[in-house]
């Protein structure tokens, strides 16, 4: 189903340096962003988490069958690693996974801003990120995931279509519906 | 809760720009990304190499392959945690292990150092490598063990001593964010920080690999490797005070009933000097003299003093050589 991803993994297993380069360039930063959105780990913690996730993924490359998108598969590994870290009491999670089917609550939302922001702006940004995350949590998983891929990870519509296993037109349509649902959810959050 | 009024469109719901601002993250610095890449690439090479090796066996009869796999599994019950080496000594501190916060442990003399561990040296440490040779770790250094013949130096200073007697096919590699160093039968020191990598080759030859290309360096050379830009080569003395931290961590040499010649070879290597035997008679005496007692806990220089006072031969410590003669 995910033939391109399967081919990339096949080339990596065959020792193709360019395949590894493409794999690392495509996913390392996105995996770090994925982890950062779901935790309040320090920069060192994120680095360790991403490194451990990638190493675990590479060790298990041969088990990747292309039944899900490679990024989805990597995110699952990263999610398990993150759960292990949190289970061992290393860090308290800042907010829950966007994929969790749970109602949002205030305690789940505390997001970090990049260092380049000055304190007042940082506070605004944290609040803004909290509001965005809270609204996303209230959406169906498919909508939230599509919006996160598009606006959080910078995937193109074509890439999202490939990862969802649908046509580009269907992905565009899904994103449009997701944006509408988000807008409605946003209004609900603002008026509460 | 109110959101940041990033733009006027937020009144109708956040714009695409606002969504990006809310969801996009860039948590990795260039240095962190480089470190992750070095570790991931090392793992990938191992996996690809193992897979290639396995594929060669695939053509054999299924029974033989199964037997081989069973044998391998029996010999290596835990490939993920192979023993990299054994801690011999930790001076004034501990070796802290653990890749996750709150899951730290400590290693002391006699403990095994395994693959996949992140090690912070709170004291200078000496490790006997499973591959043969030793690894000396300076205080304050952070390493990660990637494989039995591969470590990542995250920050600080290490010294790798792989005697020329080890098999030539052994390729010990030290990875850093800036480049990887492979030994070609050697003693070398690696120091790395955020911006620079220094490699000092005391014996043999090393090969430095980095994205910009591959360089080799011989004994008596120091390479200063910036994150970007050209490499600087400097001449290097293989002896003297600059190596004192390495000599302080030298493994003990058990002299009981050993030939004086063996001791001299060891002392010369550990102090980075050539061994000059004045003549055939001196060589004969060094070969036939048997030592007794112990030099445990002494540095190589202290040991030379003690041993020289107990033999009939004359030892002269020159800048780059230890000269041994019959006296006179």
Partner residue opposite B23 with nearest CB, options A15, A51, A151: A151
Q: Which of B75, B91, B109 is a domain's end point? A: B75
* A111 to chain B: closest CA residue: B22
pLDDT beyond 70 at B163: yes
- If asked whether residues B206 and B294 sit together in one domain, one would say no
Contact of A37 with A65, CB cutoff 8 Å: no
Structural domain includes residue B159: yes
Contact of B135 with B160, CB cutoff 8 Å: yes
In 3-state terms, what secondary structure has residue B256?
A: coil
pLDDT beyond 80 at B63: no
| Longest Cα–Cα distance in chain A | 56
* A134 to chain B: closest CA residue: B1
Residue with more model confidence, A94 or A37: A37
Angle at the Cα of B177 (from B173 to B183), degrees rounded to 5?
Answer: 20
Which residues in chain B have their CB less than 8 angstroms from residue A24's CB?
37, 40-41
Q: Which of B243, B276, B311 is a domain's end point? A: B243
A133 touches chain B (CB under 8 A): yes
Contact of B103 with A88, CB cutoff 8 Å: yes
CB-based contact A190 B2, cutoff 8 Å: yes
Q: What does the pLDDT average to over B108-119?
A: 88
| Exposure of B62 in the CB half-sphere (CA atoms within 13 A) | 0
- Model confidence at A105, pLDDT cuts 50, 70, 90, reads very low
- Model confidence at B56, pLDDT cuts 50, 70, 90, reads low
How many pairs of residues across A and B have Cβ atoms under 8 Å apart?
148
- If asked whether residues B229 and B285 sit together in one domain, one would say no
SS3 of B55-103: the string is HHHCCCCHHHHHHHHHHHHHHCCCHHHCEEEEEEEEECCCEEECCCCCC
Structural domain includes residue B11: no
Nearest CA to B128 out of B246, B262, B251 is that of: B251
Nearest CA to B112 out of B82, B86, B130 is that of: B86
| pLDDT score, position B23 | 83
pLDDT beyond 80 at A162: yes
- If asked whether residues B184 and B207 sit together in one domain, one would say yes
Q: What does the pLDDT average to over B309-323?
A: 86
| Longest Cα–Cα distance in chain B | 100
Contacts of B92 (CB under 8 A, 6+ apart): B123, B124, B139
Which residues in chain B have their CB less than 8 angstroms from residue A148's CB?
23
Contacts of B109 (CB under 8 A, 6+ apart): B87, B88, B89, B90
| pLDDT score, position B266 | 92
Task: Render pLDDT for B102-111 as a digit per residue (tens, 0 to 9).
Answer: 557 888 888 8
Structural domain includes residue B167: yes
The alpha-helical segments, DSSP class H, found in chain B are 16-23, 30-57, 62-75, 244-248, 260-270, 280-288, 300-309
- If asked whether residues B193 and B207 sit together in one domain, one would say yes
Residue with more model confidence, A134 or B231: B231
- If asked whether residues B122 and B179 sit together in one domain, one would say yes
Residue with more model confidence, B13 or A93: B13
Structural domain includes residue B238: yes
Nearest CA to B151 out of B125, B213, A116, B168 is that of: B125
| Partners of B187 in beta bridges | B161, B203
| pLDDT score, position A86 | 78
| pLDDT score, position A32 | 92
3-state helix, strand, coil in chain A (%, to 5): 70, 0, 30
- If asked whether residues B101 and B170 sit together in one domain, one would say yes
Structural domain includes residue B308: yes
Calpha distance B211→B227 (Å, rounded): 10
In 3-state terms, what secondary structure has residue B112?
A: strand
Structural domain includes residue B92: yes
- Model confidence at A21, pLDDT cuts 50, 70, 90, reads very high
| pLDDT score, position B235 | 92
Which residues in chain A have their CB less than 8 angstroms from residue B39's CB?
51, 54-55
- Model confidence at B115, pLDDT cuts 50, 70, 90, reads confident
| pLDDT score, position A90 | 46
- If asked whether residues B232 and B299 sit together in one domain, one would say no
A9-23, A174-188, B34-48, B79-93, range with the lowest pLDDT:
B79-93
- If asked whether residues B149 and B172 sit together in one domain, one would say yes
Calpha distance A59→A56 (Å, rounded): 5
| pLDDT score, position A98 | 43
Partner residue opposite B52 with nearest CB, options A15, A20, A43: A15
The DSSP bridge pattern shows strands B95-97 and B274-277 to be unpaired
Q: What does the pLDDT average to over A31-37?
A: 88
CATH number, position B211: 2.60.120.1440
Calpha distance B322→A69 (Å, rounded): 64
Which domain range does residue B276 map to? 252-325
Nearest CA to B250 out of B304, B287, B201 is that of: B304
Q: Which domains does chain A have, with CATH numbers?
A: 1-93 (1.10.1740.10), 119-192 (1.10.10.10)
Which residues in chain B have their CB less than 8 angstroms from residue A29's CB?
26, 28, 33
- Model confidence at A1, pLDDT cuts 50, 70, 90, reads low
- If asked whether residues B104 and B209 sit together in one domain, one would say yes
- If asked whether residues B158 and B233 sit together in one domain, one would say yes
- If asked whether residues B258 and B282 sit together in one domain, one would say yes
Domain total for chain B?
3
What Cα–Cα distance (Å) separates residue B280 from each residue in B113, B254, B273, B284?
44, 26, 20, 6
| pLDDT score, position B51 | 80
The predicted model scores a pTM of: 0.48
Using only the alpha carbons of chain A, give its radius of gyration.
17
Residue with more model confidence, B170 or B174: B174
| Partners of B276 in beta bridges | B323
- If asked whether residues B269 and B303 sit together in one domain, one would say yes
Q: Which of B75, B108, B134 is a domain's end point? A: B75
Q: What does the pLDDT average to over B4-16?
A: 50
Structural domain includes residue B10: no
Structural domain includes residue B59: yes
A29-33, A38-42, A160-164, range with the lowest pLDDT:
A38-42
Nearest CA to B202 out of B252, B238, B158 is that of: B238
């Amino acid at each position: 189903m995910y033939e391109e991803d399967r081919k990339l993994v096949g080339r990596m297993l065959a020792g193709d340096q360019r395949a590894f380069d493409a794999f690392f360039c495509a996913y390392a930063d996105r995996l770090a962003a994925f982890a950062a959105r779901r935790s309040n780990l320090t920069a060192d913690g994120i680095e360790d988490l991403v490194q451990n996730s990638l190493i675990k993924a590479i060790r298990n490359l041969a088990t990747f069958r292309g039944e899900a998108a490679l990024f989805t598969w990597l995110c699952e590994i990263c999610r398990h690693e993150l759960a292990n870290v949190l289970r061992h009491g290393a860090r308290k999670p800042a907010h829950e996974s966007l994929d969790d089917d749970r109602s949002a609550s205030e305690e789940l939302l505390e997001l970090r801003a990049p260092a380049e922001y000055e304190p007042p702006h940082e506070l605004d940004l944290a609040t803004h990120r909290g509001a965005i995350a809270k609204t996303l949590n209230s959406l169906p998983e498919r909508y939230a995931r599509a919006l996160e891929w598009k606006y959080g990870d910078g995937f193109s519509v074509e890439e999202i279509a490939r990862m969802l296993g649908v046509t580009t037109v269907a992905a565009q349509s899904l994103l449009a519906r997701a944006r509408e649902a988000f807008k409605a959810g946003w209004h609900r959050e603002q008026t509460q | 809760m109110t959101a940041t009024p990033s733009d006027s469109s937020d009144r109708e719901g956040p714009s695409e720009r606002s969504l990006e601002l809310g969801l996009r993250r860039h948590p990795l610095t260039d240095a962190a990304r480089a470190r992750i890449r070095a570790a991931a690439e090392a793992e990938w090479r191992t996996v690809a190499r193992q897979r290639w090796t396995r594929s060669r066996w695939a053509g054999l009869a299924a029974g033989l392959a199964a037997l081989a796999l069973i044998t391998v599994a029996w010999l290596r019950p835990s490939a993920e945690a192979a023993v990299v080496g054994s801690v011999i000594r930790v001076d004034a501190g501990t070796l802290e292990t653990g890749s996750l916060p709150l899951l730290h442990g400590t290693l002391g003399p006699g403990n095994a150092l395994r693959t996949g561990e992140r090690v912070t040296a709170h004291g200078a440490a000496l490790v006997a490598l499973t591959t043969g040779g030793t690894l000396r770790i300076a205080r304050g250094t952070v390493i990660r063990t990637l494989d039995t013949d591969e470590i990542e130096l995250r920050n600080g200073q290490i010294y790798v001593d792989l005697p020329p007697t080890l098999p030539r096919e052994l390729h010990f590699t030290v990875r850093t964010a800036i480049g990887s160093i492979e030994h070609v039968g050697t003693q070398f020191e690696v120091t790395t920080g955020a911006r620079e990598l220094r490699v000092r080759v005391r014996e043999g030859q090393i090969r430095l690999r980095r994205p910009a290309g591959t360089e080799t360096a011989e004994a008596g050379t120091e390479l200063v490797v910036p994150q970007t830009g050209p490499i600087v080569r400097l001449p290097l003395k293989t002896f003297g005070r600059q190596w004192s931290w390495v000599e302080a961590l030298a493994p003990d040499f058990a002299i009981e009933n050993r030939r004086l010649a063996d001791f001299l070879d060891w002392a010369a290597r550990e102090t980075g000097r050539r061994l000059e035997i004045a003549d055939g008679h001196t060589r004969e005496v060094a070969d036939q003299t048997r030592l007794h007692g112990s030099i445990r806990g002494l540095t190589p220089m202290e040991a030379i003093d003690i041993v020289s006072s107990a033999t009939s031969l004359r030892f002269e410590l020159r800048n780059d050589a230890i000269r041994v003669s019959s006296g006179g």
